[in-house]
Amino acid sequence: MASDAWWLSFRPATGSGRNMGLILLEALLALAILLAIVWWTMFSGRKRGELRDPPPAPPEAGPPAPQEAPRD
């Protein structure tokens, strides 16, 4: 009779579908937490955005004049 029930060994164990659902739920929860952390770190900066760069200094007209040594 054991040879008649060979196909029973290919059936999933009882409750394995529920276990797979819990694993999937846990993976989705971990993904949601990861996305929340990324969102928090990317968009929780300054209230008015990033600081602007200072305007560039105007170019000099020529080389600086040599300094005279103080006379005593």
Per-residue pLDDT of the chain in tens (72 residues, 90 and over written 9): 555 666 656 666 666 667 888 999 999 999 999 999 998 888 777 666 667 788 887 777 666 667 777 776
Per-residue pLDDT at 38: 92
- 10 secondary structure, DSSP code: G
Per-residue pLDDT at 36: 95
Residue 2 burial (CB < 10 Å; 0-12/13-18/19+)? exposed
- pTM: predicted TM-score of the whole model, two decimal places: 0.44
- Residue 21 CA to residue 16 CA, distance in Å, equals 9
- Residue 24 CA to residue 18 CA, distance in Å, equals 10
